[in-house]
Structure 1
Amino acid sequence: MVPRLSPQRAGRILIGTLLGGSLACCIMALRAGRAHAEYDPTTPSQRQVYSKSVAEHYNYRFGADKPFLPSLATTDTGEFINPRAFPTAKYCGHCHQEAHTEWRQSAHANSFRTPWYTRNVNLLMAEKGIEFARHCEGCHNPTALTSGAMTKGSPINRKFDEDGVTCSVCHSIQRVDTRGTGSYVLAQPAVLVDEHDQPIYGDVSDKEILAHLDRHSKAVMKDFYHQSEYCSACHKAALPRQLNDYKWQRAIFLYDEWQLSSFAKESPLPFYVKDSVSTCQTCHMPREPLGAAASDYGAKDGKLASHRWLGANTIMSKFYNYDTQMEKTIAFLRNGVFNVDIFGLEKSDGKADGKMIAPLGTQNFAIAPGDILTASIVIQNKGIAHSHVPEQRDMYESWVEFEAKDASGKTLTHSGIIEPNGDLDPRAHSFTNRLVNVKGEINDLHQVWNNRVVAYNNTIASGRSQIVRYQFKVPADAKGPITITAKVNYRRFDQHFMDFAMGKHYEEPVVEMAARTRTLNLGDNPANAPDPQDNKEWMRWNNFGIAMLDAQQYAESVHAFERVVLLRPDYADAFTNIAIANFSWQRYDDSRTALDKALKLSPHNARALYYLALVERNQGNLDAAIADLREVITQFPRSRDAHRELGFSLYQQRKYDEARVEYENLQSIDPDDLAAHYILSIVYRRLGMKEQASREAAAFADQKDDPTASTYALEFLRKHHEIASESVPWHTHSDFAPQQQIEGVLPAAQ
């Protein structure tokens, strides 16, 4: 029997039921809200919960307060960041379609997943442990590092590996310094700030962002993102003691090379002067017009800062079939980077040395069958703000290819060929270095953690030149004319490393970056009009002089710069260059004479004053040296060399407070300057600053050169005669046996 209810009771029950249902819904909603908050990785409280949970199983091998070493990266609070708090690149691509498309094909997007990187870092982890790979992941995979995934047995889902260095990483960096090796501070990402400029974490709709673009910009942009110092956090690196169980070693230093170059305009010392400042972003993130079909809210006036970060990574473009990236990378590599000058020719009949005919094209000469010819090729690095090759010089591969042929096509000599197995001719002139371990063997798979010494370094610094010499004989049956060609070639990796990375032989694209060809008649070769491919004659001599200076051929360098004076008597730097060569040759009086002439032409010239100060100090006139260096710093306040030399001059006068200021200024530019560590360790102690003195002394002890390390290099070079000559600044590539080679001499200036 169903009980009957009065209308009043029925109403009360209905209302109660509705209220109860509503309350239940509210309670469920509140519980759902709490559950969401509990698992929402973006809330500050849950970041702490997440960080503590990671810490429970994390290997703090390098110290409980140093969770990210050997990388110098850290987070704003020192806590880990849940990887789910990083918005994906796809999310950013909703509004930044073109930037996302470009980024996907860039080295940043592929910084972790490429087989050549993972194969190499797996070597490190297998040999030493995953925690040592934090050194690498600070720049190759910041999300992995800051999330705490770089520990054995980590349960963290690493789907973020596919995105490498993603948008929300770069745009969440709060500050950097110029130590490198990941010297940045990363905050939890936020794509919007509120009206009080406080970050809004978590998902934010496109509509809300577009309604508050000013607040979006505040959240994701910083003024220093436009400066080279920003890039220095990762495009500069060291190998610390924690990684190699040995000592601190400088590894890559693109920022320092840029800061010292003419592109930065922060130093008076480069051989050539640029009209305006070029930062890393100027070359690698130029503003480019959007294509007709492209769309991006980040564009201004129809132009977008390129997110391709074009450089030299040709193998990535091939492996992932990034055709557009490959096309643009090749164009970038060929865009006025080098000048190749077949500068001079020495000839001999095998009985007497010949004098150099130079610059080729400006003088009459004759060639006959049986002549032994030595061609001097001058390679000028005119378009890069850092050295060539940069960064991983032990496995990146760029070299000079030289070939001489007669009219019948017969090869008279050929250096720099690619052998059938893909290896480069071991006797080729390669812009590389050789990392050697404690066994006196080469670290051929980029095992930098085992490195002890660099056997030699053949890279070309920004704005400088290098001479490469080739010797061959003109056969008796040669058919004229003879064509000689010099090229600068590049491929991403040497073949041995490439095959290791891929687990099989893998053919790489080779890019011809620059080339020059000259034709030599058998018989008379009259002088001819200047070739548009060549620099002006004074600059050809100037580049030759720079190359001879770096080859430690000081007399020849002086003679070359004297030729520049004859061609441009009003060029003050020609006299300064003569002074530099004489100073290197320890001919200080001659150096002073040339500097006086430079300063007469260009009073207060900072470059001349810098070298004049060195001469004055060498001659015992410290007061004059200090005055000149102060004037240099007035013109170039960020000249690290001027601060270093002024600090040392003041130290010699026992003006310790003033010396301290200069060396601290130097450390603000380069925190790892070895001279600064050494002198400050003394100065601080004499000023009673014992704690600071101990810190600097420890840094100097860790970073100074190991005097025994050269024995490993000598052992390596002793075993490898085919490349040992590359360690000698002045040498000749020849098909003759060493005792048969003919060494010519440069005539004195007329």
Structure 2
Amino acid sequence: MSTQGQGLRELLRAEMSWRNAAMGLLTVTAVLAVLKAVLPVSAEAMALLGLGHLLTAAPLAVFGSLYTFHHFRRTAGIKRWGLSASGIASALLLGLLISTGIALAVLGPATSRAGIAAAHMVMGLSVVGLVVLHVVLAARREGAAPRFASYRRVGLAGLLLAAVLVGGGSVLDLTDPRKSPAAPQTADYGQSYGPHPFKPSQTETSTGGFVHPDYIATSVECGACHQAIFEQWRESMHGQAAADPTYVKNITFLVENKGMEAARYCEGCHAPVALLTGELSEGGDHGGTAGTPAFHEGVGCLSCHGTKDMVHLKGVGSYMLDADDGMAPLPVPGGKTIRRAMILADIESHKEAMNQPVLSSPALCAGCHEQFMDRDMNDWGWVKMQADYSSWLESPFSGQHDHRFAVDQAMPCQSCHMPLVRAEDPSANADGMVMSHRFPGANTAIPHVLGFEEQERIVREFLQAGRMRVSIDPVEQRSAAEETTFVDPRLRRGSDAPALVYNGEKVELQISVANIGVGHAFPGGTTDLNEAWLAVTVRDGSGRLVAETGAIDGEGYVDEEATFYKSVPIDREGREVWRHDLFNMVGEAYRRTIPAGGADVVSFAFDVPHWAKGPLTVTASLNYRKLNKRYSSWSLGSEVALPVTEVARDVQTLSVKSRPAVFAGGNQDKEALD
């Protein structure tokens, strides 16, 4: 036999082996895909079927491409239109099937993959149908029956593999340690607040007990795929909830005064990992302890994405966490890599697990942005504290309250605090946008202290986005000729009453501060610590200060005579609870906030000096500083200067004139005086 003939035979044998491998892999891959689509199996089994499909599809792409290329080179001269057409169509669709499969693997959980996934499924079914047709036509051409028998064993092997994967997944699901309570991280775990592992926090878990740290301290693992979102979250107040130096100061103060078990009250919202793993008992570490998983995790990914329902809407960590999140590494060598591969192989199940309906509901926010304290903590009685969710419920933005001003549609918390931003992330929508995980609110202090310049900038812009409005009512001042004219000033036309004031006269301004866009009362959150106030300055034409309120002195304290929007909690002796040591709080001595759609009117009076030159410029500013000076000096140090943000302002200009003398005897008396 010639060398050329021998080479052709070897090439033909290679082609047949590639064909058999490709046909076998196509059969197994198709079986796994169909079973994954129709079987009601556990999430673990679903992920293993997806992984099996992915692992068999990869060599299918190789052997299918090799066989198609060499088969077409060998049969290019055969003139049989039906056979050729089915072969060409099979080859083209196989190429598209491989391309869409690669696209799905590369895109991961991107929203845009939905259309590709549908196309991939249709092409897969079409390829199987066309290959069967091509085999039948080829057999007829050779005058023989189609040789499907050789593929039966492969099909049975595919079913056997599927059974193994489903069985393995079911075993993993049934024996998953996440479905049973874990042991607490501290020995002799105390329950002095009652027979419940997490009290006085209101948090619950699906198992009714503790969770292993590996199952909830996973934000870094999430960041391996979701890098853009991870970087946003890392600088947010959720990411820094436990590492926040003011929180570290307060939680340490609480533990020193009330014991480690009392820390559970705070840690359900600031350090869920410490609470849920059973660290918060004598001998354990609270979330403010540097270097611990809870410290680095803060309010991590699974604190929200692992929440399946709300326990109630009164707050203090009132969420139900399901530890079965599908993110923990498998308890085998290389378990972390296998878990990640399972996620990528079954993205839809991962998306479903991480995107529970409660995640888009404002009720989720109530879990930590409502707050109360009862007798267990303050040894007094029930006291309401933070009320951002209930304040939103009472606002026009909730759609559940009578509108006090026009709102086109209900706006949940996420509309403002998780705006769409552009990011290169696999979860981005078709426009390349994700919901911001910076959670912009009103905390400029901690980004400033920690050096997170981008976070500080975004929060400052959020505060200055026009949701609050300051308006100085126009001054209606009587002229000299009107001094003896008894006319109701409300009946005067504006054009008859210019903005005119006189030297030596007292002027009273009415300044309106309106909440036109904040979805809850302003300020919100920790109103005992937040410092919002109205600052007013009056300067004459030469720039000299005429009057002022709300200035900051050289030590960083705001003028005590200013109008403040805040609350003042008190203890049972009537003393101010100024360190945020809320376990001493029994009520409030003062509260002044502005509800959504509401306004506050402030009077400001000043005397126009004889030396003042016109015009007078009146500037009214609504200023905001996260953390008042007294508290920040205690928690951060007196040397720390925190930024002040001008939330809104209004300016009015007043003309100044010297008041003309008015003589009872008219011009004769004036001439006599002259």
Cα distance change, pair 371–299 in 1 and its aligned pair in 2 (3 A)? same
RMSD: 2.9
1:302-317 map, 5 Å: 302-317=432-447
Hey, what's the Cα distance between the residues in 2 that align with 1:80 and 1:283?
34
* Unmatched runs of 5 consecutive residues or more in structure 1: 1-39, 194-200, 526-750
Q: Tell me the equivalent position of 1:233.
A: 367
Match of 2:238 among 104, 108, 118: 108
Hey, what's the Cα distance between the residues in 2 that align with 1:469 and 1:142?
46
Match of 1:62 among 167, 172, 193: 193
Hey, what's the Cα distance between the residues in 2 that align with 1:372 and 1:234?
48
Match of 1:280 among 400, 403, 413: 413
Contact map agreement 2:531 2:625 (CA 8 A) in 1: yes
Hey, what's the Cα distance between the residues in 1 that align with 2:243 and 2:555?
27
Match of 1:437 among 544, 549, 571: 571
Hey, what's the Cα distance between the residues in 1 that align with 2:349 and 2:178?
24
Cα distance change, pair 348–521 in 1 and its aligned pair in 2 (3 A)? closer
Moved more, 142-151 or 515-524: 515-524
Matched, 1:179 2:310: no
Q: Tell me the equivalent position of 1:296.
A: 426
Hey, what's the Cα distance between the residues in 2 that align with 1:171 and 1:362?
60
Matched, 1:404 2:541: no
Hey, what's the Cα distance between the residues in 1 that align with 2:571 and 2:253?
15
Cα distance change, pair 41–253 in 1 and its aligned pair in 2 (3 A)? farther
1:455-513 CA distances to partner (integer Å, 9 max, x unpaired)? 12111111100011111001112111111010001110001111111134210111111
Q: Tell me the equivalent position of 2:281.
A: 151
Contact map agreement 1:435 1:454 (CA 8 A) in 2: yes
Q: Tell me the equivalent position of 2:515.
A: 381
Asked which structure has the greater CA Rg, the reply is: 2
Cα distance change, pair 513–358 in 1 and its aligned pair in 2 (3 A)? farther
Cα distance change, pair 103–173 in 1 and its aligned pair in 2 (3 A)? same
Match of 2:529 among 391, 395, 406: 395
Hey, what's the Cα distance between the residues in 2 that align with 1:521 and 1:325?
43
Contact map agreement 1:62 1:69 (CA 8 A) in 2: yes
Match of 1:125 among 243, 252, 255: 255
Cα distance change, pair 344–210 in 1 and its aligned pair in 2 (3 A)? same
Contact map agreement 1:480 1:521 (CA 8 A) in 2: yes
1:622-641 map, 5 Å: none
Contact map agreement 2:503 2:658 (CA 8 A) in 1: no
Cα distance change, pair 522–355 in 1 and its aligned pair in 2 (3 A)? farther
Hey, what's the Cα distance between the residues in 2 that align with 1:401 and 1:323?
26
Match of 1:162 among 296, 300, 303: 296
Matched, 1:85 2:85: no
Q: Tell me the equivalent position of 1:247.
A: 381
Q: Which amino acid aligns with 1:338?
A: M
Hey, what's the Cα distance between the residues in 2 that align with 1:358 and 1:379?
25
1:538-549 map, 5 Å: none
Q: Which amino acid aligns with 1:58?
A: Y
Contact map agreement 1:181 1:237 (CA 8 A) in 2: yes
Hey, what's the Cα distance between the residues in 2 that align with 1:470 and 1:510?
22
1:647-658 map, 5 Å: none
Hey, what's the Cα distance between the residues in 2 that align with 1:213 and 1:419?
57
Hey, what's the Cα distance between the residues in 2 that align with 1:477 and 1:155?
65
1:629-663 CA distances to partner (integer Å, 9 max, x unpaired)? xxxxxxxxxxxxxxxxxxxxxxxxxxxxxxxxxxx
Cα distance change, pair 155–454 in 1 and its aligned pair in 2 (3 A)? closer
Matched, 1:139 2:269: yes
Quote the offset at 1:422 in angstroms.
Answer: 0.5
Contact map agreement 1:389 1:431 (CA 8 A) in 2: yes
Q: Which amino acid aligns with 2:364?
A: Y
SS of equivalent residue, structure 1 residue 218: helix
SS of equivalent residue, structure 2 residue 380: coil
Cα distance change, pair 55–91 in 1 and its aligned pair in 2 (3 A)? closer
Hey, what's the Cα distance between the residues in 1 that align with 2:491 and 2:562?
24
Q: Tell me the equivalent position of 2:610.
A: 476
Q: Which amino acid aligns with 1:277?
A: A
Q: Which amino acid aligns with 1:246?
A: W
Hey, what's the Cα distance between the residues in 2 that align with 1:240 and 1:465?
32
Cα distance change, pair 204–223 in 1 and its aligned pair in 2 (3 A)? farther
Q: Tell me the equivalent position of 1:14.
A: none
Hey, what's the Cα distance between the residues in 2 that align with 1:354 and 1:476?
28
SS of equivalent residue, structure 2 residue 398: coil
1:255-299 CA distances to partner (integer Å, 9 max, x unpaired)? 11111111111111x421201111001111122222xxx333344
Quote the offset at 1:346 in angstroms.
Answer: 6.6
Contact map agreement 1:435 1:455 (CA 8 A) in 2: yes
SS of equivalent residue, structure 2 residue 376: helix
Q: Identity over the aligned pairs, expressed in percent?
A: 29
Contact map agreement 2:529 2:627 (CA 8 A) in 1: yes
SS of equivalent residue, structure 2 residue 406: coil
Hey, what's the Cα distance between the residues in 1 that align with 2:553 and 2:488?
34
1:324-346 CA distances to partner (integer Å, 9 max, x unpaired)? 11111111111011111101447
Task: Name the TM-score, length of structure 1 as normaliser.
Answer: 0.59
Kindly tell me the number of residue pairs found equivalent between the two proteins: 472
Contact map agreement 1:344 1:357 (CA 8 A) in 2: no
Cα distance change, pair 313–133 in 1 and its aligned pair in 2 (3 A)? same
Contact map agreement 1:47 1:80 (CA 8 A) in 2: no
1:585-639 CA distances to partner (integer Å, 9 max, x unpaired)? xxxxxxxxxxxxxxxxxxxxxxxxxxxxxxxxxxxxxxxxxxxxxxxxxxxxxxx
Cα distance change, pair 202–361 in 1 and its aligned pair in 2 (3 A)? farther
Hey, what's the Cα distance between the residues in 1 that align with 2:448 and 2:624?
15
SS of equivalent residue, structure 1 residue 517: strand
SS of equivalent residue, structure 1 residue 80: coil
Q: Tell me the equivalent position of 2:88.
A: none
Contact map agreement 1:93 1:100 (CA 8 A) in 2: yes
1:489-638 map, 5 Å: 489-523=623-657
Task: Name the TM-score, length of structure 2 as normaliser.
Answer: 0.66
1:115-155 CA distances to partner (integer Å, 9 max, x unpaired)? 11110121111111111111110100111111111111127
1:17-32 map, 5 Å: none
1:698-717 map, 5 Å: none
SS of equivalent residue, structure 1 residue 93: helix
Q: Which amino acid aligns with 1:420?
A: G
Hey, what's the Cα distance between the residues in 2 that align with 1:449 and 1:427?
29
Cα distance change, pair 295–184 in 1 and its aligned pair in 2 (3 A)? closer
Hey, what's the Cα distance between the residues in 2 that align with 1:449 and 1:355?
54
Cα distance change, pair 164–87 in 1 and its aligned pair in 2 (3 A)? closer
Quote the offset at 1:308 in angstroms.
Answer: 0.7
Q: Which amino acid aligns with 2:517?
A: G
1:413-465 CA distances to partner (integer Å, 9 max, x unpaired)? 11000111101111111111111112221111111111122112111111100
Hey, what's the Cα distance between the residues in 1 that align with 2:654 and 2:496?
13
1:334-360 CA distances to partner (integer Å, 9 max, x unpaired)? 1011111101447699x9999877999
Matched, 1:95 2:234: no
